[in-house]
Amino acid sequence: MKVLAFRCFLLLALAVANVPALASDFSQHLEQLNDLRLKDRNQFQGNVRQLYENTDKTTLSNTELGHLLLLTAWDHVLTGDFERALNQLEQVDTNISPELELKVSSLKTNIYVLSYRYSDAFLQAEQVLVSLPTIREPSLYTQVAGPLILLYNNVERFELVNQLIDQGLRITSDNALRCRLIAPKLQGAYKTKNFQQYSLDFDSTHSLCELANEVIFSLLIIRNHMFYLLEQQQAAAALAFYQQYYSQVEQINYPILTAGFNAAAAEALLQQGELAAANELAQRAEQSLPGDRNDPAVLSTYRVLTLLAQAERNFDNLLRYSEKRRDTELAIAREKASQQLAYQLASGEARLKEQRIQLLDKDNELLTLERNLYQQQAENRYLMLLLIGSLSLILGLLTYRGLTRSKRYRKMAEFDQLTGISNRYHFTEQAKQEITHCIRAQRPVALILFDLDHFKQINDRFGHAAGDWTLQQVVLSCRNFIRHSDIFGRIGGEEFVILLTDCTAEQAVMLADICRTALADIDTSGYQQQFKVTASFGVADSNQAGYDLSALLAAADAAMYQAKQQGRNQVYCPATADGAV
């Protein structure tokens, strides 16, 4: 759910609204068209295109022409033609109006994000951030700050996001603008507060948006809230929102809302065991899924369809939806990594610019001093410069070597060199942190421990190279099915462990059995005498062993021992009905 609020509200910033009859004055006409952008997309696009085609551009002032070009750029963004939109913005003379320059920069940020150019987006955002404190007009601030709030929200810079939102709230009392500012804040509230505190924030924000008649914002935060409720295992509450608001969603006919409501309701029904109803809504959600695979409705839909196929033992659908779910999770992980990297690079470049400015100031002082000293003793100037250059070079080399070694040693200390997953120490540290989060949020946690059967015989018969290859194939096979949020580690020679947050024993047993099957299917035909790779799995969860990592490991180890005693190549969990799978 890491990209949950970000994609919803970013695409909402590109939707548009109803407007009263257009005014005769051209400038007011443009302002009214600009107000369309949050309520009725089709009417906005039709009016902008008609205005652009029927207007004599030579009769417009530079400011009017600039605002007209800005609106047509919005039209190109809504149709997905980002390059054309950027070309349109390049024609705008931003020197004629600081307000117009800010709007152009804000729209560029939006375009860069939607076209996955995150480095450009953060660099553009850094420029806009400098000007935000000077804005005193509420609607302009909301329009300019909106894309920045959503962008930094997605990389979880919630402190900066809260500063931007509070700054906007200080200059406006308009409920509609306050709704648009506060709504993105709910993502940070969910990530940084306990669920009860977040729920209070949701209730107040939802009431505000309904009071302001901001229907799309209201429905979007409800949609996001439904997914948050599902993470808290509150399926009934999520279904209640679905039943109350879905008629409004159908009237709006907005794919992001339609797919999101259906996907959330399908997952809620699945949690309650209503498989037929869940399947119907999941199929309906799949038909209206947005093209962006990072939208949470996509992942939720494929997760539900995968679990339903598994329950029905429909292996064709299980394979198809498992692949789609895996591809979606990989796409989310890749985009998240790209965003974080772009943010770090942009932040580093901004800091570098500040340092360059400071360095230039110091250079100016140094030049003044050198000029005075030159009159007294010219030779000292060259000696001073030589010393400064030598020290800077030495310091730079030492710093670079220190950072390089630190990074290399840290990687060696935290990850298993053969398989690339966490070693025992790193797994333990990560697992304890995740278990602490689960305790605070009252979420379940499960642990899978598995050991390769007769692994010593593989080493003895085929050599340690074959053993190493087998361990690597085991990791690759299991990674195809575990979530990116799960913690996967190698804690012994042929012993592996997976910590699954927000997961019950039954769900963990299903995953363990999928991994067991995948290991048994590993192709060893590259060796003259083919061999079989199997493993024995033990599963434990917090309901059985509590939230202590040592207790979970001990319980899973006992279960794994039982699996081996019962014949190996199987899953055992004392918490399930029959224990072994």
How many Å apart are CA 251 and CA 29, to the nearest integer?
A: 28
Bridge partners, 538 (sequence order): 449, 572
Query: Is a pLDDT exceeding 50 seen at residue 22?
Result: no
Query: Is a pLDDT exceeding 70 seen at residue 577?
Result: no
Determine contact, residues 302/325, Cβ cutoff 8 Å: yes
> So what's the pLDDT on residue 6?
42
Model pTM?
0.55
Question: In the chain, how long is the greatest CA-to-CA distance?
Answer: 94
Q: Do you know the residue count of the chain?
A: 581
Query: Is a pLDDT exceeding 50 seen at residue 20?
Result: no
Determine contact, residues 241/225, Cβ cutoff 8 Å: yes
Give the pLDDT band of residue 361 (cuts 50, 70, 90).
Answer: low
Q: Which of 124-138, 332-346, 445-459 has the highest mean pLDDT?
A: 445-459
In tens, the pLDDT along 160-179 reads 889 999 998 999 999 988 99
How many Å apart are CA 3 and CA 154, to the nearest integer?
A: 6
CA 217 from chain center: how many Å? 20
Query: How deeply is 191 buried, as exposed, middle or buried, from its count of CB atoms within 10 A (0-12, 13-18, 19+)?
Result: middle
Q: Residue range 108-133: average pLDDT? A: 85
> So what's the pLDDT on residue 410?
61
470: tokens are 């087998």
Bridge partners, 415 (sequence order): 422
> So what's the pLDDT on residue 233?
93
The structural domains of the chain, with segments of one domain joined by +, span 1-208, 233-374, 382-414, 424-572
**Chosen CATH of 233-374 out of 1.25.40, 1.20.120, 1.10.1740, 1.10.287:** 1.25.40
User: Residue holding tokens 């997961």?
Assistant: 503
In tens, the pLDDT along 242-285 reads 999 999 988 877 778 888 898 899 899 989 999 999 889 888 88
How many Å apart are CA 21 and CA 372, to the nearest integer?
A: 71
Determine contact, residues 272/234, Cβ cutoff 8 Å: no
Name the phi and psi angles at 445, rounded to 5. Answer: -140, 140
> So what's the pLDDT on residue 358?
67
Distant-in-sequence, close-in-space partners of 279: CB < 8 Å, separation ≥ 6: 266, 305, 308
Determine contact, residues 62/74, Cβ cutoff 8 Å: no
How many Å apart are CA 574 and CA 509, to the nearest integer?
A: 11
Given 3-state DSSP classes, what are the helix, strand and coil percentages for the chain, each rounded to the nearest 5?
A: 75, 5, 20
332: tokens are 């989310």
In tens, the pLDDT along 195-236 reads 999 999 999 999 999 999 988 889 999 999 998 999 999 999
How many Å apart are CA 117 and CA 97, to the nearest integer?
A: 27
How many Å apart are CA 541 and CA 444, to the nearest integer?
A: 7
Distant-in-sequence, close-in-space partners of 284: CB < 8 Å, separation ≥ 6: 262
> So what's the pLDDT on residue 551?
95
String of b and e for 352-386 (b: at least 16 CB within 10 Å)?
eeeeeeeeeeeeeeeeeebeeeeeeeeeebeeeee
> So what's the pLDDT on residue 567?
94
Bridge partners, 423 (sequence order): none
Quote the percentage of the chain above a pLDDT of 70.
85
Give the pLDDT band of residue 36 (cuts 50, 70, 90).
Answer: low
Provide the mean pLDDT of the chain: 83
SS3 18: coil
> So what's the pLDDT on residue 4?
47
3-state secondary structure 375-402: HHCHHHHHHHHHHHHHHHHHHHHHHHHH
Same topology for domains 233-374 and 424-572, yes or no? Answer: no
Half-sphere exposure of residue 560: CA atoms within 13 angstroms, side-chain side: 24
How many Å apart are CA 481 and CA 318, to the nearest integer?
A: 12
End-to-end CA distance of the chain: 31
CATH for the stretch 424-572 = 3.30.70.270
Q: Residue range 72-92: average pLDDT? A: 84
Q: At what angle do helices 296-312 and 275-287 cross, to 10 degrees?
A: 140
In tens, the pLDDT along 376-413 reads 765 666 677 777 777 777 776 766 675 656 565 565 56
Fold observed for domain 1-208? 1.25.40
Among candidate residues 334, 337, 322, the one with its CA nearest the CA of residue 481: 322
Lowest pLDDT segment from 52-66, 298-312, 457-471: 52-66
> So what's the pLDDT on residue 356?
67
User: How many other C-beta atoms lie within 10 A of the C-beta of residue 492?
Assistant: 10
Which contiguous run of DSSP H or E holds residue 448? Answer: strand 445-452
17: tokens are 């609204």
Give the pLDDT band of residue 292 (cuts 50, 70, 90).
Answer: low
> 530 or 360, which is more confident?
530
Strand 487-490 versus strand 445-452 pairing type: unpaired
Q: Residue range 495-521: average pLDDT? A: 95
